[in-house]
Chain A
Amino acid sequence: MSDKPNIASLSGRKKVVSNKKMTFMEMIYLPAIIGGFGITLSHFFKKKVTLQYPEETKPRSEIYRGMHVLKRDDEGRERCTACGLCAISCPAEAITMIAAERKEEEMNLYREEKYASMYEINMLRCIFCGLCEEACPKEAIFLTDRIVSSDLHRGDFIYGKDLLVEPVDQRIDISHRQTPEVLKFKLDKNQSHNS
């Protein structure tokens, strides 16, 4: 105890700075410079950590919560019925919608008698928590592994139905987000609206 300097150090990592004289090898600096070049050179042969985004993308989890999709059912009709549960569950209040009544000739477009004539998500407000997906009673909205692209104007981040509803011929696969509980629920014949 007596030979060590009396330093109060809680972490035990405190170092005492000494002002000792340099040796000859240290004074000519060359070994240190060559050692430094050696480290730089060794990085040429190491695995690169830089990803050439956007050509390359980092692998994401299958249940990554990215841009939303409004699903259609098997017959291509929109599932969303504009019940507003996603909007009320949204902690960022990013979702707005206007409901409308389905007309007789629109039977093949919308599944329920009510549908969303306007459905907007403000992607700048959205925190991608996935509560809208959980609240949805119609299996209509899902988060996907797609990424909301950057843009120049704030207004362009308000995504309407044109960007959110999946095209009939280009369905978006959300099967990995369907947990066993969800699939069991969908098998329930009584819930025919969950087809």
Chain B
Amino acid sequence: MLKVTIDNQTIEVEEGTTILQAARLIGGAVVPPAMCYYSKLKDSGGKCRTCLVKVAQGSARDPRPMPKLVASCRTPVADGMVVQNITSQEVIDTRKAIVEFLLINHPLDCPVCDQAGECDLQNLSYENGREESRFEESKRTFKVIDIGDKIQLHMNRCILCYRCVYTADQLTNKRSHGILYRGDVSEISTYIQNDITNDFSGNIIDVCPVGALTDKTFRFKNRVWFLNPMNAHRSCTKCSGKVTAWMRGDEVYRVTGRKDQFGEVEEFICNECRFEKKDKEDWVIEGPRNIKRASVISQNHYLNARKPSVIIPLENRTESLEEYAKENSNENKIS
């Protein structure tokens, strides 16, 4: 076991753990944001640089600091390592600059984009970014491409995190899309707009941290913050069938995987569950999902709301007032 200190919090982790994974084990504010790293996808990470941290002490044996900030998703911990994330002003400044770089070519069309409200880039720039843009040149633009009949690619919004490419590589048995060209002209593409027909191809929508890959069956249907994310399941032959059903009233607007606190899906789901089962009858609804209070999705959804208990008129009351209060005291407690 290796002892590592992140923002003055010490934890023991196994060898081969990266700094980001160790920080996630501690949890809370010390977890660096990650736009490209995805724990379920092998080799992901190291692209977006948002998770840069300062290593103030390389290890117990060699206590020199690392010369530059390192990508925490790719750097394995060493025994006695001391890492600074939010305690280092250098990291905070760098992260601010990186958000600005990521937003250089991002169109900022959040009012139109379906991802708004659950977008990693939106959250990242809200927490770490500048208030206004300093970019004056024209942004790169692409046309909207349909990848198959269910997925739409808005290349303008892409930040080239490669998550969808790894998903296509690792989840499906035949790779059908990748990145073309190099540098700032590189783009996600299918080969001559081939259809992606694999059963699990829809997961590239879930892994996309921005609104580049969106669900065509949900396009402009509703905003995520007007919907109630519900845990739901059905028996599916292809996948586990455990999903999040985004509902309003009795209507299922869209189906996604269940995302954990780091925005990663717990289990990948198949296209049949995602695109074709939009009926309430198809699903067994388990209950509402826990959404962070800070999220816009929890707006106007009241936590711990309780209906006022019916007060029995005095003349009809059989028990004494004290008994009545004792009986109703549990009901009225706000947990």
Contacts and interface: CB of A to CB of B under 8 A. Distances in A.
Interface in A74-88: 81-85, 87-88
B112 A88 contact: no
A190 B133 contact: yes
A138 B111 contact: yes
Interface residue tally on A, bucketed by range: 20 to 34
A101 B110 contact: no
A113 interface: yes
Interface string B286-304: 0000000000100110000
Interface in B95-114: 109-112
A83 B111 contact: yes
A106 interface: no
A180 B291 CA distance: 38
Contacts of B133: 190
A20 interface: no
A93 interface: yes
Contact of B110 (A82, A83, A93, A100): A83
B226 A189 contact: no
Contacts of A193: 109
Interface string A96-139: 00011100000000001110000000000000000000000110
Contacts of B112: 81, 83, 112-114
B111 A101 contact: no
Nearest to A93: B300
Interface residues of B, number: 19
A107 to B, nearest CB: 15
A193 B136 CA distance: 14
Contacts of B225: 84, 88
Interface string B195-226: 00000000000000000000000011111011
B324 interface: no
Given A83-B111, A190-B136, A101 B299 contact: no
B154 to A, nearest CB: 10
B116 interface: yes
B223 A83 contact: yes
A189 B136 contact: yes
Contacts of A112: 109, 111-112
B223 A84 contact: yes
Contacts of A114: 111-112, 220
Contacts of B299: 88
Contacts of A99: 220-222
A95 to B, nearest CB: 11
A100 B132 CA distance: 29
Nearest to A80: B111
A118 to B, nearest CB: 12
B135 interface: yes
A138 B112 CA distance: 10
Nearest to A112: B112
Interface string A173-192: 00000000000000011100
B226 A88 contact: yes
A73 B77 CA distance: 56
Given A81-B112, A83-B110, A190-B135, A88 B219 contact: no
B216 to A, nearest CB: 11
Contacts of A190: 133, 135-136
A93 B301 CA distance: 12
B26 to A, nearest CB: 33
Nearest to A100: B220
A83 B116 contact: yes
Given A83-B116, A114-B111, 6 more contacts: A84-B226, A88-B226, A101-B219, A137-B110, A190-B135, A190-B136
20 contacts: A81-B111, A82-B220, A83-B110, A83-B111, A83-B112, A83-B116, A84-B225, A84-B226, A85-B111, A87-B226, A88-B223, A88-B299, A93-B300, A99-B220, A101-B219, A112-B109, A112-B112, A137-B111, A190-B133, A190-B136
A-B pairs with lowest CB-CB distance, top 9:
A83-B111, A84-B223, A99-B220, A114-B112, A81-B111, A137-B111, A190-B133, A114-B220, A101-B220
